[in-house]
Amino acid sequence: MKIDLSVIIVSWNTNKLLEDCLSSVYRFTKDVSFEVIVVDNGSQDKSADMVRQKFPQVKLIPNRDNLGFTKANNQGIKIAKGKYILLLNSDTYLIENSFSKLIKKAKTLQSLGVLAPQLLSQDRTIQQSAGFFPHLPQVFWWMTFIDDLPGGQFLRPYHVDHDSFYNKDQNVDWVTAAAILVPTVVINKVGGLDEKIFMYGEEVEWCYRIKKAGFEIYFTPATKIIHIGRGSSNQIPTSAFIGEYKAVIYFYQKHKGRFSLQMARFFLKIGALLRIAVFSILGRKELVRTYVQAFKSV
């Protein structure tokens, strides 16, 4: 007999964050039969030992090396027994009975492929965590800042960064994998995350396949989860910016034609040049260097 939920947490050198995450899961989760699977990607900070000592009920998969976000999550998915799979970042923590609320909401949704909660920073401000597929218009509006203008959310932007959007249920194209609920039957039909993607953009590609198979992608503010990692854009490392550019290119290589790929490259280069100019004026040398690398990467 299957349990309700399998929670999969991938960790790489996040000992304290992982401990806080797990503590919150066991503190707040009620009325749900669940298991927790932690996949440790070769951490050097004794994360695996911490899990063994403080959370013996957790199913631990200790990898010798960092296999990447996608491979590690797929490892967890392969041994999961839940009717639903919840991918959860190690830098998140619960503040309420989120899993029960998500499953309750999931049971009301038609053709459910993916459901994601509202993500908040530690100061309780809303994080952008959803959007629409990076078709050419979306890439153009993103690269030229048009979707940042008032009313930009109505353009179905690649990244929706208007807070008002996140205050009600939404049918979207993709949601961030920091906290993402997927029925096991959907994964059995579509497959897991694309392991050619080490990190960044994996949720967009996965949601694309899920939606192409006839399922829907939903966002709900019915419950809120704290996500530390993307608390502010100043905390995003250079690798994240470049990784996102490369993710769009990979998406086009896999799912679009040659002409569309070349146009996407052109728009991304224009966007990088615009950002180099803006951040040069603002004196943000580190961001200038970042976008020079992004320009070269595409």
In tens, the pLDDT along 126-161 reads: 999 999 999 999 999 999 999 988 888 889 999 998
Confidence band (pLDDT; 50, 70, 90) for 2?
confident
Q: What does the pLDDT read at residue 265?
A: 97
Q: Are strands 34-41 and 130-131 parallel, antiparallel or unpaired?
A: unpaired
Name the average pLDDT for the chain: 94
Nearest to 218 by CA among 177, 171, 173: 171
Q: What does the pLDDT read at residue 232?
A: 31
pLDDT tops 80 at residue 229: no
Confidence band (pLDDT; 50, 70, 90) for 230?
very low
Residue 282, exposed/middle/buried by CB under 10 A (0-12, 13-18, 19+)? exposed
Q: What does the pLDDT read at residue 158?
A: 96
4 by DSSP, 3-state: which?
strand
pLDDT tops 50 at residue 165: yes
- Domain boundaries in the chain? 3-132+160-232, 238-297
| Mean pLDDT, residues 49-63 | 97
**What fold, for 3-132+160-232?**
Spore Coat Polysaccharide Biosynthesis Protein SpsA; Chain A (3.90.550)
In tens, the pLDDT along 185-227 reads: 999 999 999 999 988 899 999 999 999 999 999 999 999 999 9
Query: Alpha helix locations (H) across the chain?
Result: 15-28, 47-54, 69-79, 98-106, 136-143, 184-190, 202-212, 238-255, 258-281, 285-297
In tens, the pLDDT along 28-55 reads: 999 999 999 999 999 999 999 999 999 9
Nearest to 119 by CA among 131, 128, 132, 108: 128
Confidence band (pLDDT; 50, 70, 90) for 239?
confident
Q: What does the pLDDT read at residue 152?
A: 85
pLDDT tops 50 at residue 268: yes
Q: What are φ and ψ of residue 279, in 5° steps? A: -75, -25
Q: Which two tokens stand for residue 48?
A: 């695996």
Given a contact cutoff of 8 angstroms between Cβ atoms, the answer to whether 272 and 238 are in contact is no
pLDDT tops 80 at residue 297: yes
Q: Rounded distance, CA 113 to CA 94, Å?
A: 23
For 99-147, what is the HEC assignment? Answer: HHHHHHHHCCCCCEEEEEEEEECCCCCECCCEECCCCHHHHHHHHCCHH
| Mean pLDDT, residues 243-259 | 95
Given a contact cutoff of 8 angstroms between Cβ atoms, the answer to whether 225 and 125 are in contact is no
In tens, the pLDDT along 278-287 reads: 999 999 998 9
